Chain A
Amino acid sequence: MTSHIETLNLTKRYDGLLALSQVSVRAPSENITAVVGVNGSGKTTLLRLLAGLDEPSEGTILIDARGVTAEELRNYCTMVFQKSIMLGGRVYDNIAYGLRINQVPRRDIAEKVKSALAIVNMDGFEKRKARKLSSGEQQRVAIARALALERAVVLIDEPTANLDPANATIIEQSIKEAARSRIVILTTHNLPQARRLSHRAVHLYQGRVVEEGETASFFANPRDERTKLFINGELQF
Protein backbone atom coordinates (compact mmCIF):
# COMPACT_ATOMS: atom_id res chain seq x y z
CA MET A 1 0.00 0.00 0.00
CA THR A 2 1.25 3.47 -0.87
CA SER A 3 1.99 5.42 2.29
CA HIS A 4 2.55 8.92 0.96
CA ILE A 5 3.13 11.15 -2.01
CA GLU A 6 5.31 14.21 -1.85
CA THR A 7 6.75 16.90 -4.04
CA LEU A 8 10.25 18.31 -3.76
CA ASN A 9 10.87 21.82 -5.03
CA LEU A 10 8.30 21.46 -7.74
CA THR A 11 8.35 24.29 -10.25
CA LYS A 12 6.19 24.73 -13.32
CA ARG A 13 6.41 27.40 -15.98
CA TYR A 14 3.96 27.85 -18.83
CA ASP A 15 5.48 29.86 -21.68
CA GLY A 16 7.86 31.52 -19.26
CA LEU A 17 5.08 32.32 -16.79
CA LEU A 18 5.75 30.89 -13.34
CA ALA A 19 2.73 28.87 -12.19
CA LEU A 20 4.39 26.97 -9.33
CA SER A 21 7.62 27.74 -7.57
CA GLN A 22 9.64 25.41 -5.35
CA VAL A 23 6.57 23.63 -4.00
CA SER A 24 7.32 20.92 -1.45
CA VAL A 25 4.30 19.24 0.09
CA ARG A 26 3.58 15.84 1.56
CA ALA A 27 0.29 13.95 1.59
CA PRO A 28 0.01 10.78 3.66
CA SER A 29 -2.35 7.87 3.08
CA GLU A 30 -5.76 7.66 4.74
CA ASN A 31 -5.67 11.43 4.94
CA ILE A 32 -7.32 14.23 3.06
CA THR A 33 -4.99 17.05 2.17
CA ALA A 34 -6.70 20.27 1.17
CA VAL A 35 -4.82 22.65 -1.08
CA VAL A 36 -6.39 26.05 -0.62
CA GLY A 37 -5.70 29.38 -2.21
CA VAL A 38 -7.21 32.15 -4.25
CA ASN A 39 -7.89 31.75 -7.98
CA GLY A 40 -4.67 31.51 -9.96
CA SER A 41 -2.58 30.46 -6.99
CA GLY A 42 -1.43 27.25 -8.71
CA LYS A 43 -3.78 24.70 -7.14
CA THR A 44 -4.89 23.07 -10.37
CA THR A 45 -1.36 23.20 -11.76
CA LEU A 46 -0.16 21.25 -8.75
CA LEU A 47 -2.88 18.63 -9.22
CA ARG A 48 -2.10 18.30 -12.93
CA LEU A 49 1.55 17.66 -12.12
CA LEU A 50 0.61 15.10 -9.48
CA ALA A 51 -1.75 13.43 -11.94
CA GLY A 52 1.06 13.09 -14.46
CA LEU A 53 -0.76 15.27 -16.98
CA ASP A 54 2.08 17.78 -17.18
CA GLU A 55 5.81 17.49 -16.64
CA PRO A 56 7.33 19.72 -13.99
CA SER A 57 9.86 22.30 -15.18
CA GLU A 58 11.97 21.50 -12.14
CA GLY A 59 11.66 19.35 -9.06
CA THR A 60 10.57 15.82 -8.30
CA ILE A 61 7.47 13.94 -7.29
CA LEU A 62 8.04 11.00 -4.98
CA ILE A 63 5.80 8.13 -4.05
CA ASP A 64 6.95 6.31 -0.93
CA ALA A 65 10.23 8.24 -1.24
CA ARG A 66 10.87 7.02 -4.81
CA GLY A 67 11.04 9.51 -7.65
CA VAL A 68 8.45 8.81 -10.32
CA THR A 69 7.91 10.02 -13.86
CA ALA A 70 4.70 11.55 -15.17
CA GLU A 71 3.90 8.28 -16.94
CA GLU A 72 4.36 6.28 -13.75
CA LEU A 73 2.23 8.78 -11.85
CA ARG A 74 -0.72 7.98 -14.07
CA ASN A 75 -0.63 4.45 -12.69
CA TYR A 76 -0.79 5.71 -9.12
CA CYS A 77 -3.09 8.70 -9.42
CA THR A 78 -6.41 9.59 -10.91
CA MET A 79 -8.07 12.98 -11.03
CA VAL A 80 -11.55 14.41 -10.77
CA PHE A 81 -11.97 17.74 -12.51
CA GLN A 82 -13.90 20.79 -11.43
CA LYS A 83 -16.06 20.53 -14.54
CA SER A 84 -17.05 16.90 -14.73
CA ILE A 85 -16.43 15.33 -18.11
CA MET A 86 -18.90 12.67 -19.12
CA LEU A 87 -18.27 10.29 -21.98
CA GLY A 88 -21.18 9.49 -24.28
CA GLY A 89 -23.35 6.58 -23.23
CA ARG A 90 -24.57 5.28 -19.91
CA VAL A 91 -23.31 5.91 -16.40
CA TYR A 92 -22.14 2.30 -16.40
CA ASP A 93 -20.00 2.86 -19.50
CA ASN A 94 -18.44 5.94 -17.95
CA ILE A 95 -17.32 4.11 -14.84
CA ALA A 96 -16.44 0.90 -16.64
CA TYR A 97 -14.26 2.70 -19.19
CA GLY A 98 -11.30 3.16 -16.85
CA LEU A 99 -11.64 -0.42 -15.63
CA ARG A 100 -11.70 -1.82 -19.14
CA ILE A 101 -8.59 0.00 -20.28
CA ASN A 102 -6.82 -1.13 -17.14
CA GLN A 103 -7.63 -4.74 -18.01
CA VAL A 104 -9.93 -5.41 -15.07
CA PRO A 105 -11.57 -8.79 -15.77
CA ARG A 106 -14.98 -8.39 -17.33
CA ARG A 107 -16.67 -10.41 -14.58
CA ASP A 108 -15.40 -7.95 -11.94
CA ILE A 109 -16.37 -4.75 -13.72
CA ALA A 110 -20.10 -4.82 -12.94
CA GLU A 111 -19.38 -5.38 -9.25
CA LYS A 112 -16.86 -2.55 -9.10
CA VAL A 113 -19.21 -0.17 -10.89
CA LYS A 114 -21.97 -1.03 -8.45
CA SER A 115 -19.71 -0.50 -5.44
CA ALA A 116 -18.45 2.83 -6.76
CA LEU A 117 -21.99 4.06 -7.41
CA ALA A 118 -22.99 3.04 -3.89
CA ILE A 119 -20.23 5.26 -2.46
CA VAL A 120 -21.67 8.31 -4.22
CA ASN A 121 -25.22 7.35 -3.30
CA MET A 122 -26.27 6.60 -6.86
CA ASP A 123 -27.37 2.98 -6.65
CA GLY A 124 -29.35 1.94 -9.70
CA PHE A 125 -28.07 4.73 -11.97
CA GLU A 126 -26.09 2.35 -14.19
CA LYS A 127 -28.40 2.58 -17.20
CA ARG A 128 -29.02 6.32 -17.08
CA LYS A 129 -27.51 8.49 -19.82
CA ALA A 130 -24.53 10.20 -18.23
CA ARG A 131 -24.88 13.48 -20.11
CA LYS A 132 -28.53 13.82 -19.14
CA LEU A 133 -27.75 13.87 -15.43
CA SER A 134 -27.64 17.10 -13.45
CA SER A 135 -24.24 18.69 -12.92
CA GLY A 136 -24.20 17.48 -9.32
CA GLU A 137 -24.98 13.92 -10.37
CA GLN A 138 -22.35 14.10 -13.10
CA GLN A 139 -19.76 15.16 -10.55
CA ARG A 140 -20.76 12.22 -8.37
CA VAL A 141 -20.34 9.88 -11.35
CA ALA A 142 -16.92 11.42 -11.97
CA ILE A 143 -15.95 10.66 -8.38
CA ALA A 144 -17.33 7.13 -8.67
CA ARG A 145 -15.34 6.66 -11.87
CA ALA A 146 -12.16 7.72 -10.10
CA LEU A 147 -12.82 5.57 -7.04
CA ALA A 148 -13.65 2.48 -9.09
CA LEU A 149 -10.07 2.45 -10.35
CA GLU A 150 -8.79 1.94 -6.81
CA ARG A 151 -5.72 4.08 -7.41
CA ALA A 152 -3.57 4.96 -4.41
CA VAL A 153 -3.98 8.68 -4.94
CA VAL A 154 -7.17 10.53 -5.81
CA LEU A 155 -6.83 14.15 -6.85
CA ILE A 156 -9.98 16.22 -6.72
CA ASP A 157 -10.15 19.71 -8.17
CA GLU A 158 -12.80 21.97 -6.63
CA PRO A 159 -15.24 19.10 -6.12
CA THR A 160 -18.34 21.06 -5.19
CA ALA A 161 -17.89 24.37 -6.99
CA ASN A 162 -21.33 25.60 -8.13
CA LEU A 163 -23.17 22.57 -6.74
CA ASP A 164 -26.27 22.60 -4.56
CA PRO A 165 -25.87 21.72 -0.87
CA ALA A 166 -27.45 18.27 -1.21
CA ASN A 167 -24.99 17.13 -3.88
CA ALA A 168 -22.11 18.84 -2.08
CA THR A 169 -22.89 16.90 1.12
CA ILE A 170 -22.95 13.57 -0.72
CA ILE A 171 -19.68 14.41 -2.47
CA GLU A 172 -18.03 15.32 0.81
CA GLN A 173 -19.15 12.01 2.30
CA SER A 174 -17.78 10.18 -0.74
CA ILE A 175 -14.43 11.93 -0.36
CA LYS A 176 -14.26 10.90 3.29
CA GLU A 177 -15.07 7.34 2.29
CA ALA A 178 -12.38 7.43 -0.40
CA ALA A 179 -9.78 8.60 2.10
CA ARG A 180 -10.19 5.50 4.26
CA SER A 181 -7.86 3.57 2.03
CA ARG A 182 -6.28 6.20 -0.20
CA ILE A 183 -4.39 9.44 -0.34
CA VAL A 184 -6.84 12.20 -1.21
CA ILE A 185 -5.69 15.62 -2.28
CA LEU A 186 -8.36 18.17 -3.02
CA THR A 187 -8.19 21.76 -4.05
CA THR A 188 -10.79 24.20 -2.92
CA HIS A 189 -11.34 27.82 -2.14
CA ASN A 190 -14.26 26.79 0.01
CA LEU A 191 -12.60 27.17 3.39
CA PRO A 192 -15.41 25.69 5.51
CA GLN A 193 -15.25 22.63 3.29
CA ALA A 194 -11.47 22.36 3.67
CA ARG A 195 -11.91 22.67 7.41
CA ARG A 196 -14.64 20.00 7.52
CA LEU A 197 -12.95 17.49 5.29
CA SER A 198 -9.21 17.69 5.51
CA HIS A 199 -6.61 16.44 7.94
CA ARG A 200 -3.91 18.64 6.49
CA ALA A 201 -4.10 21.97 4.71
CA VAL A 202 -1.70 23.66 2.33
CA HIS A 203 -2.01 27.32 1.40
CA LEU A 204 -0.73 28.20 -2.04
CA TYR A 205 -0.26 31.84 -2.91
CA GLN A 206 1.19 33.02 -6.21
CA GLY A 207 2.52 29.53 -6.90
CA ARG A 208 4.31 29.14 -3.57
CA VAL A 209 3.45 27.27 -0.39
CA VAL A 210 3.08 29.92 2.26
CA GLU A 211 1.72 27.66 4.99
CA GLU A 212 1.17 23.96 5.55
CA GLY A 213 0.03 22.03 8.59
CA GLU A 214 -2.63 20.12 10.48
CA THR A 215 -6.01 21.49 9.51
CA ALA A 216 -7.04 22.38 13.06
CA SER A 217 -3.95 24.49 13.76
CA PHE A 218 -3.87 25.82 10.20
CA PHE A 219 -7.24 27.46 10.69
CA ALA A 220 -7.03 28.19 14.42
CA ASN A 221 -3.52 29.62 14.53
CA PRO A 222 -2.23 30.50 11.08
CA ARG A 223 1.38 31.62 11.23
CA ASP A 224 1.68 33.35 7.90
CA GLU A 225 0.13 36.78 7.49
CA ARG A 226 -1.21 35.91 4.02
CA THR A 227 -2.93 32.80 5.39
CA LYS A 228 -4.56 34.92 8.09
CA LEU A 229 -5.81 37.32 5.44
CA PHE A 230 -6.99 34.45 3.24
CA ILE A 231 -8.92 32.81 6.07
CA ASN A 232 -10.53 36.16 6.82
CA GLY A 233 -11.38 36.65 3.17
CA GLU A 234 -9.18 39.69 2.86
CA LEU A 235 -6.36 38.39 0.68
CA GLN A 236 -6.02 40.27 -2.60
CA PHE A 237 -4.97 38.43 -5.76
Chain B
Amino acid sequence: MNVTQFFSEHSSEILQATLEHVWLVGATMLLAVAVGVPLGIVVARKPWLSKPILGGANVAETIPSLALLGFLLPIPWLGDRADRLAITALTLYALLPIIRNTAAGITGVDPAVREAARGMGLTPRQILFQVELPLSISTILAGVRVATVLTIGIATIAAAVGAGGLGEFIFRGLAMVNDSLILAGAIPAAILALGADFLLSIMERVLRPAR
Protein backbone atom coordinates (compact mmCIF):
# COMPACT_ATOMS: atom_id res chain seq x y z
CA MET B 1 0.00 0.00 0.00
CA ASN B 2 1.40 3.37 -0.90
CA VAL B 3 2.17 6.07 1.58
CA THR B 4 -0.84 8.34 1.10
CA GLN B 5 -3.16 5.35 1.39
CA PHE B 6 -1.42 4.34 4.59
CA PHE B 7 -1.73 7.82 6.03
CA SER B 8 -5.43 8.08 5.32
CA GLU B 9 -6.19 4.62 6.70
CA HIS B 10 -4.23 5.14 9.88
CA SER B 11 -4.98 8.84 10.32
CA SER B 12 -6.42 8.51 13.81
CA GLU B 13 -3.38 6.60 15.09
CA ILE B 14 -1.03 9.09 13.51
CA LEU B 15 -2.99 11.93 15.04
CA GLN B 16 -2.88 10.15 18.38
CA ALA B 17 0.88 9.79 18.22
CA THR B 18 1.24 13.41 17.16
CA LEU B 19 -0.76 14.54 20.17
CA GLU B 20 1.41 12.41 22.44
CA HIS B 21 4.43 14.05 20.86
CA VAL B 22 3.03 17.55 21.32
CA TRP B 23 2.28 16.79 24.94
CA LEU B 24 5.84 15.60 25.57
CA VAL B 25 7.34 18.64 23.88
CA GLY B 26 4.98 21.11 25.53
CA ALA B 27 5.61 19.79 29.04
CA THR B 28 9.34 19.85 28.38
CA MET B 29 9.36 23.42 27.11
CA LEU B 30 7.31 24.64 30.03
CA LEU B 31 9.80 23.09 32.45
CA ALA B 32 12.81 24.22 30.45
CA VAL B 33 11.63 27.83 30.37
CA ALA B 34 10.64 27.78 34.04
CA VAL B 35 14.11 26.54 35.00
CA GLY B 36 16.21 27.98 32.20
CA VAL B 37 15.13 31.62 32.21
CA PRO B 38 15.80 32.14 35.94
CA LEU B 39 19.13 30.36 35.55
CA GLY B 40 19.93 32.65 32.64
CA ILE B 41 19.12 35.65 34.80
CA VAL B 42 21.43 34.31 37.51
CA VAL B 43 24.21 33.86 34.99
CA ALA B 44 23.71 37.41 33.75
CA ARG B 45 23.78 38.80 37.27
CA LYS B 46 26.74 36.77 38.49
CA PRO B 47 29.14 36.13 35.63
CA TRP B 48 31.31 33.90 37.78
CA LEU B 49 28.45 31.39 37.82
CA SER B 50 28.39 31.22 34.05
CA LYS B 51 31.10 28.55 33.93
CA PRO B 52 29.40 26.04 36.24
CA ILE B 53 25.87 26.65 35.00
CA LEU B 54 26.55 26.93 31.29
CA GLY B 55 29.20 24.25 31.63
CA GLY B 56 26.70 21.89 33.22
CA ALA B 57 24.09 22.54 30.58
CA ASN B 58 26.75 22.03 27.94
CA VAL B 59 27.67 18.64 29.36
CA ALA B 60 24.04 17.56 29.30
CA GLU B 61 23.80 18.71 25.72
CA THR B 62 26.89 16.81 24.67
CA ILE B 63 25.79 13.43 25.99
CA PRO B 64 24.11 11.57 23.12
CA SER B 65 20.39 11.60 23.72
CA LEU B 66 19.95 7.85 23.71
CA ALA B 67 22.78 7.51 26.21
CA LEU B 68 21.23 10.12 28.47
CA LEU B 69 17.91 8.31 28.38
CA GLY B 70 19.76 5.11 29.21
CA PHE B 71 21.57 6.72 32.15
CA LEU B 72 18.34 7.99 33.65
CA LEU B 73 16.47 4.73 33.20
CA PRO B 74 17.70 2.95 36.36
CA ILE B 75 16.90 5.91 38.62
CA PRO B 76 13.99 4.78 40.85
CA TRP B 77 11.24 7.37 40.53
CA LEU B 78 12.30 8.58 37.10
CA GLY B 79 12.61 5.26 35.34
CA ASP B 80 9.24 3.99 36.47
CA ARG B 81 7.30 6.07 34.03
CA ALA B 82 8.65 6.64 30.55
CA ASP B 83 7.11 10.07 30.18
CA ARG B 84 8.80 11.31 33.37
CA LEU B 85 12.06 9.93 32.09
CA ALA B 86 11.65 11.42 28.66
CA ILE B 87 10.57 14.83 29.90
CA THR B 88 13.52 14.96 32.30
CA ALA B 89 16.03 14.11 29.60
CA LEU B 90 14.40 16.42 27.07
CA THR B 91 14.37 19.28 29.55
CA LEU B 92 18.09 18.86 30.22
CA TYR B 93 18.66 19.13 26.49
CA ALA B 94 16.48 22.18 26.09
CA LEU B 95 18.18 24.09 28.89
CA LEU B 96 21.37 25.17 27.19
CA PRO B 97 19.92 27.34 24.41
CA ILE B 98 17.48 28.93 26.82
CA ILE B 99 19.99 29.73 29.54
CA ARG B 100 22.51 31.00 27.06
CA ASN B 101 20.08 33.23 25.21
CA THR B 102 18.52 34.60 28.37
CA ALA B 103 21.94 35.51 29.74
CA ALA B 104 23.00 37.03 26.43
CA GLY B 105 19.77 38.98 26.11
CA ILE B 106 20.04 40.47 29.55
CA THR B 107 23.72 41.32 29.43
CA GLY B 108 23.07 42.78 25.99
CA VAL B 109 20.77 45.43 27.36
CA ASP B 110 22.19 48.91 26.68
CA PRO B 111 24.29 49.84 29.75
CA ALA B 112 22.99 53.40 29.55
CA VAL B 113 19.44 52.11 29.92
CA ARG B 114 20.43 50.07 32.92
CA GLU B 115 22.31 53.02 34.45
CA ALA B 116 19.34 55.32 33.93
CA ALA B 117 16.96 52.74 35.38
CA ARG B 118 19.08 52.36 38.49
CA GLY B 119 19.61 56.07 38.80
CA MET B 120 15.89 56.76 38.62
CA GLY B 121 15.25 54.54 41.59
CA LEU B 122 13.89 51.35 40.09
CA THR B 123 14.30 48.37 42.40
CA PRO B 124 16.30 45.43 41.03
CA ARG B 125 13.03 43.55 40.58
CA GLN B 126 11.49 46.42 38.65
CA ILE B 127 14.57 46.65 36.48
CA LEU B 128 14.33 42.93 35.72
CA PHE B 129 10.65 42.88 34.84
CA GLN B 130 10.19 46.31 33.31
CA VAL B 131 13.48 46.79 31.53
CA GLU B 132 15.72 43.75 31.16
CA LEU B 133 13.20 41.03 30.36
CA PRO B 134 11.07 43.08 27.95
CA LEU B 135 14.20 44.16 26.10
CA SER B 136 15.55 40.58 25.97
CA ILE B 137 12.36 38.81 25.09
CA SER B 138 13.19 38.52 21.44
CA THR B 139 16.55 36.96 22.18
CA ILE B 140 15.05 34.64 24.77
CA LEU B 141 12.42 33.57 22.28
CA ALA B 142 15.12 32.79 19.77
CA GLY B 143 16.58 30.41 22.34
CA VAL B 144 13.16 28.91 23.00
CA ARG B 145 12.71 28.39 19.29
CA VAL B 146 15.99 26.51 18.96
CA ALA B 147 15.18 24.47 22.04
CA THR B 148 11.70 23.60 20.78
CA VAL B 149 12.87 22.36 17.42
CA LEU B 150 15.63 20.39 19.16
CA THR B 151 13.11 18.85 21.55
CA ILE B 152 10.73 17.82 18.81
CA GLY B 153 13.59 15.96 17.19
CA ILE B 154 14.94 14.28 20.29
CA ALA B 155 11.46 13.35 21.44
CA THR B 156 11.36 10.90 18.55
CA ILE B 157 14.22 9.06 20.20
CA ALA B 158 12.33 8.97 23.48
CA ALA B 159 10.09 6.33 21.91
CA ALA B 160 13.03 3.98 22.29
CA VAL B 161 12.40 4.04 26.03
CA GLY B 162 8.68 3.77 25.75
CA ALA B 163 7.56 7.38 25.87
CA GLY B 164 5.38 7.01 22.79
CA GLY B 165 4.99 9.83 20.35
CA LEU B 166 5.89 9.85 16.68
CA GLY B 167 9.19 8.06 17.24
CA GLU B 168 7.31 4.89 18.00
CA PHE B 169 6.16 4.66 14.40
CA ILE B 170 9.73 5.05 13.28
CA PHE B 171 11.07 2.33 15.53
CA ARG B 172 8.27 -0.05 14.71
CA GLY B 173 8.76 0.63 11.03
CA LEU B 174 12.46 -0.12 11.39
CA ALA B 175 11.75 -3.41 13.16
CA MET B 176 9.20 -4.45 10.57
CA VAL B 177 11.14 -3.00 7.66
CA ASN B 178 8.03 -1.04 6.72
CA ASP B 179 8.65 2.30 4.99
CA SER B 180 5.11 3.59 5.43
CA LEU B 181 5.33 3.18 9.18
CA ILE B 182 8.64 5.01 9.28
CA LEU B 183 7.25 7.87 7.24
CA ALA B 184 4.14 7.95 9.40
CA GLY B 185 6.44 9.00 12.19
CA ALA B 186 9.01 11.01 10.31
CA ILE B 187 6.76 13.24 8.23
CA PRO B 188 4.52 14.54 11.02
CA ALA B 189 7.61 15.08 13.17
CA ALA B 190 9.21 17.16 10.46
CA ILE B 191 6.00 19.12 9.96
CA LEU B 192 5.76 19.74 13.70
CA ALA B 193 9.32 21.02 13.81
CA LEU B 194 8.86 23.29 10.82
CA GLY B 195 5.56 24.56 12.13
CA ALA B 196 6.93 25.32 15.58
CA ASP B 197 9.94 27.04 14.08
CA PHE B 198 7.70 29.17 11.89
CA LEU B 199 5.24 30.12 14.63
CA LEU B 200 7.96 31.04 17.09
CA SER B 201 9.91 33.04 14.55
CA ILE B 202 6.80 35.11 13.93
CA MET B 203 6.41 35.67 17.65
CA GLU B 204 10.06 36.65 17.80
CA ARG B 205 9.60 39.25 15.12
CA VAL B 206 6.39 40.61 16.60
CA LEU B 207 7.98 41.07 19.98
CA ARG B 208 11.30 42.48 18.91
CA PRO B 209 11.57 45.99 20.41
CA ALA B 210 12.44 48.64 17.86
CA ARG B 211 15.99 49.92 18.05
Whether chains A and B associate is no
